[in-house]
Chains A and B, each alone.
With several copies, the nearest count.
Chain A
């Protein structure tokens, strides 16, 4: 299980290959990459800064991945989240889950993203034509996380 918080970019192909590492019990690898969009909540975004809570961030991410491993029979999981200044088109986050079967891999990957969005201490600050603003949390993200609580 790998959890990293970093300013530098990551290479998706390299990270997925490291997760798979030719383990022949792995039949399924589901992954997700999040990017900075140039439009968000109706305004053009020229740049973004991701603030976080050092120490708690790593613990929160590790707890989310550990919970995914408890809920589903998966082989391994990977979570990389960037912090600092980012531009439209930049990669923000990578979540990847390797397992025997696709159902578990997809579910665990979505679960990690949904929990990360509502439970990991990151905050986005966008710069738009109207100046800088902190991104507002979306109710849809809260609802996406809640569907796993059954």
Chain B
């Protein structure tokens, strides 16, 4: 299943890139699984597990760890928001 992943703000800087496209292996079907898969890549990716209060959105809607993923989804990871 192919996804687009976006990273924002401090997390984008820690990861070292703002976006990527990737093919998920079978068995990854929600946000929790996606985080596990990304962290297992090592390098900068364990940041996803250590950032405080990580937030995630699927197709531009706030999501939860058990939000399911579908082919073509746009998934975003970011720290708590600070606008306004």
Interface segment out of the listed B6-14, B29-37, B65-73 = B6-14
Flag whether A135 is at the interface (Cβ < 8 A).
Answer: yes
Proximity bits, A117-129, B CB within 8 Å = 1, else 0? 1111111110000
B79 near A53: Cβ-Cβ < 8 Å? no
Flag whether A50 is at the interface (Cβ < 8 A).
Answer: yes
Asked whether A124 and B83 contact (CB < 8 A) given A119-B62, A134-B9, the answer is yes
Q: Provide a sorted-by-A list of 22 A–B residue pairs whose CB atoms are within 8 angstroms.
A: A52-B83, A53-B6, A53-B76, A55-B60, A113-B84, A116-B83, A116-B84, A117-B81, A117-B82, A117-B83, A118-B81, A121-B76, A121-B81, A121-B83, A122-B81, A122-B83, A123-B8, A123-B82, A124-B83, A134-B10, A137-B53, A137-B79
Where the two chains meet, the residues of A that have a C-beta atom closer than 8 Å to any C-beta of B are 34, 50-53, 55-56, 59-60, 81, 92-93, 113, 116-125, 134-137
A34 contact set on B, CB distance < 8 A: 84
A123 near B83: Cβ-Cβ < 8 Å? yes
Interface size, B (range): 10 to 19
| Besides A121-B78, A137-B81, 8 new A-B residue pairs in contact (Cβ under 8 A), listed by A number | A53-B6, A53-B8, A56-B57, A56-B60, A123-B9, A123-B79, A134-B79, A137-B80
A81 near B83: Cβ-Cβ < 8 Å? yes
A117 near B60: Cβ-Cβ < 8 Å? no
- Which residue from chain B places its CB closest to the CB of A114 in the assembled complex? B84
Where the two chains meet, the residues of B that have a C-beta atom closer than 8 Å to any C-beta of A are 6, 8-10, 53, 57, 60-62, 76, 78-84
Q: How many pairs, one residue from A and one from B, have CB atoms within 8 Å of each other in the complex?
A: 72
B80 contact set on A, CB distance < 8 A: 118, 137
A55 contact set on B, CB distance < 8 A: 60
Q: How far is the CB of A133 from chain B (nearest CB, A)?
A: 9
A-B complex: 3 closest residue pairs judged by Cβ atoms: A122-B83, A137-B80, A123-B9
B57 near A53: Cβ-Cβ < 8 Å? yes
Q: How far is the CB of B4 from chain A (nearest CB, A)?
A: 12
- Which residue from chain A places its CB closest to the CB of B62 in the assembled complex? A119
- Which residue from chain B places its CB closest to the CB of A102 in the assembled complex? B84
Contact residue among B8, B60, B62, B82 (Cβ-Cβ distance under 8 Å from A135):
B82
